[in-house]
Chain A
Amino acid sequence: MINILITLLPIQKGSARIAGFDLKTEPEKVRESIGIVFQELTLDRDMTVREILEYHGRLYSMPKTERQKRIDELLDLVELEGKRDTLTRHLSGGMKRRLEIARGLMTRPKVLFMDEPTIGLDPQTRIRIWEYLRDINRQGTTIFLTTHYMDEADQLSDRISIIDHGKIIVTGRSWELKNALGEDLIYLETGDNKATAELLKNLDSVKEIREKSKGIIVMVNVDGTYLLPEMMDKLRKGGIKIKAVNLKKPSMDDVFVHYTGRELRDTGAEKGSVVSLRAGGR
């Protein structure tokens, strides 16, 4: 999908507008208004950091003085000033990623597309890249990113869409998506899960009950810490043996599993993915 939005593949069905331009009729205008950070590294190993940015600026016909100014600004932003004349083959993975982000921003795009920008990076580098992205966003660039990391979507996004089998299943803000699952999630493992579900499903504060492989998940509308003792009493009175209990706030992982109906670990890389949209600050 991202390949279509960035004009590398022709659009076949439907329509899309990017930065106010129609993808079908004005692909040239779309190209001029977007920046792209590809999933795989796409840096020429035999060019220096400065040359990578220079080449990109020239591809987009930026005037020379503006190119130089922008390169200085961006190297400062992604903290690569010291590497200006280093061949990219000598950069670490995180540095390469930062350089690619700088390249994506070179032409001051209205929309920056990022295809899993933090894949394969160590946690520290990831957090730094998140910081750059927040900075860039604050300065007025809309960021469109795809990710399989639910925490990444949760942390960064203004708007999240969950995509499964190529279709958007749900879209919303992070808290909206989580609240849709209820206030709290209670996990129960009991001697008789079916009977437990029967007993609990009529409670006012219970929103929905889902069966898991060994237990059940009860989504509740109220604060679970107060509801839990009441539930325990009810089950004990019903003669059901309780083996394990867990209470937690819904996370993006839960949201994902809820909507795609699969455990995270089961999903193939291309099957379920989250696209998060982030509206610009302007």
Chain B
Amino acid sequence: MRTGFLTIYWRDMLRFVRFRTLLFASLVQPALWLAFFGIAMSNNFDRLTATLPATPGIRTVGYLTFIGAGVIAMTTLFTSLFGGTVLLFDKNWGLMRETLSSPLPRIHIIIGIGLSGMTKSFIQAAVIMIFGLLLGVQFFEGYTLTQIFGSLLGIMLFIGAFSLGFLFLSAAIAITMESPEGMQAVITLLTMPFFFTSNALYPANSFPPLLRALSTVNPLTHLVSGIRYFAIGSDFSSIGIHYTYTHGEVLVSFLSLLVFAGIMFLIARWRFSKVTVT
């Protein structure tokens, strides 16, 4: 029964590829964000920051490249937070009785849903990156092929850890809630602070102290930092702000995501042990 989570994974992926419209929408929506919001904002920002003197010797990237990482992170956040919804429907439609009365340990349901959600996030991130490169996002510029592979691996590790954390959280909410409407409301409420206290769309450097503190504990900030480090580099400037990432900082970001995922896993396990489905 050690590979039981693969059964849950298989079923969830089956449903993901089965609904062509849903699949299509989930891939196109982030691309549209980049296309509309990204290009519109990038023109504004670039106009505003055109007067700023470029720091000599440091690579300057446009706003589109800056939020490229933000859009990937944001999409991962949304997809992962909604990734557990299937459990709520399973519970409400009685489908979960089959799974819960089987010999499959409950923990495998959490792991299976986590892994399938993570796979979906990988697919989405890949689509956004390809689309972004076509639109003019300057990722992996001047990288050798080996460096690109290394960076992709790094980005996947960050996205993986981050999405698992939010999928576990989503699973915990789904198994606790009674109605899909309630779940929708809770998740929408949750996305707001995560999204706007992060550095996904704008720099966090000029936040007031409280927002800034929130931003440093926000997993989304750590994900965005990780993606920027791997996709753009450890030393660049954008919108007139100089960014540097040391190896240590990136490692701390990654560890924070792992800790977050671990805590969320424990919460999900606790919620699952409480649930009775009849």
A residues lining the B interface (CB < 8 Å): 3, 6-9, 28, 31-32, 36, 38, 40-44, 46-47, 51, 55-56, 58-61, 103
Known A46-B15, A47-B11, A59-B7: A38·B103 in contact at CB below 8 Å: no
Please tell me if the beta carbons of B101 and A9 are within 8 angstroms of each other in the complex. Answer: no
For chain B, the bracket of interface size reads: 20 to 34
Task: Provide the bound-state CA to CA distance between A101 and B260, in Å.
Answer: 43
Please tell me if the beta carbons of B93 and A42 are within 8 angstroms of each other in the complex. Answer: yes
Please tell me if the beta carbons of B95 and A61 are within 8 angstroms of each other in the complex. Answer: no
Contacts of B6 in A (CB 8 A): 58
Please tell me if the beta carbons of B7 and A55 are within 8 angstroms of each other in the complex. Answer: yes
Residue of B10, B14, B101 near A31 (CB, 8 A) is B101
Output the least CB separation between A55 and chain B (Å): 6
Please tell me if the beta carbons of A61 and B101 are within 8 angstroms of each other in the complex. Answer: no
Please tell me if the beta carbons of B103 and A36 are within 8 angstroms of each other in the complex. Answer: no
Contacts of B101 in A (CB 8 A): 6-8, 31, 36
Please tell me if the beta carbons of A61 and B278 are within 8 angstroms of each other in the complex. Answer: no
Please tell me if the beta carbons of A56 and B278 are within 8 angstroms of each other in the complex. Answer: no
Task: Provide the bound-state CA to CA distance between A229 and B7, in Å.
Answer: 71
A31 and chain B: residue at smallest CB distance: B103
Task: Provide the bound-state CA to CA distance between A127 and B29, in Å.
Answer: 51
- By secondary structure, the A interface counts as loop
Which residues of chain B from 82 to 125 have any CB-CB distance to chain A below 8 Å in the complex? 93-95, 97-104
Contacts of B102 in A (CB 8 A): 31, 56, 59-60
Known A38-B94, A46-B19, A61-B103: A55·B11 in contact at CB below 8 Å: yes
B residues lining the A interface (CB < 8 Å): 1, 4, 6-7, 10-11, 14-15, 18-19, 93-95, 97-104, 276-278
What are 25 A-to-B residue pairs whose CB atoms are below 8 Å? A8-B97, A8-B100, A8-B101, A8-B277, A9-B276, A9-B278, A28-B103, A31-B102, A32-B103, A36-B97, A38-B97, A40-B94, A42-B93, A42-B97, A43-B95, A46-B15, A46-B18, A51-B14, A55-B7, A55-B10, A56-B98, A58-B10, A59-B98, A59-B103, A60-B102
Task: Provide the bound-state CA to CA distance between A56 and B99, in Å.
Answer: 8
Please tell me if the beta carbons of A42 and B95 are within 8 angstroms of each other in the complex. Answer: yes
Please tell me if the beta carbons of B278 and A60 are within 8 angstroms of each other in the complex. Answer: no
B277 and chain A: residue at smallest CB distance: A8
Task: Provide the bound-state CA to CA distance between A47 and B86, in Å.
Answer: 14
Please tell me if the beta carbons of B97 and A60 are within 8 angstroms of each other in the complex. Answer: no
A10 and chain B: residue at smallest CB distance: B276
Task: Provide the bound-state CA to CA distance between A58 and B4, in Å.
Answer: 8
Which of B10, B15, B278 has its CB near the most chain A CB atoms (within 10 A)? Answer: B278
Task: Provide the bound-state CA to CA distance between A42 and B278, in Å.
Answer: 12
B94 and chain A: residue at smallest CB distance: A42
B105 and chain A: residue at smallest CB distance: A28
Task: Provide the bound-state CA to CA distance between A60 and B93, in Å.
Answer: 21
Please tell me if the beta carbons of A59 and B99 are within 8 angstroms of each other in the complex. Answer: yes
Which of A9, A40, A51, A59 has its CB near the most chain B CB atoms (within 10 A)? Answer: A59
Contacts of B7 in A (CB 8 A): 55, 58-59
Contacts of B19 in A (CB 8 A): 46
Task: Provide the bound-state CA to CA distance between A32 and B4, in Å.
Answer: 14
Contacts of A46 in B (CB 8 A): 15, 18-19
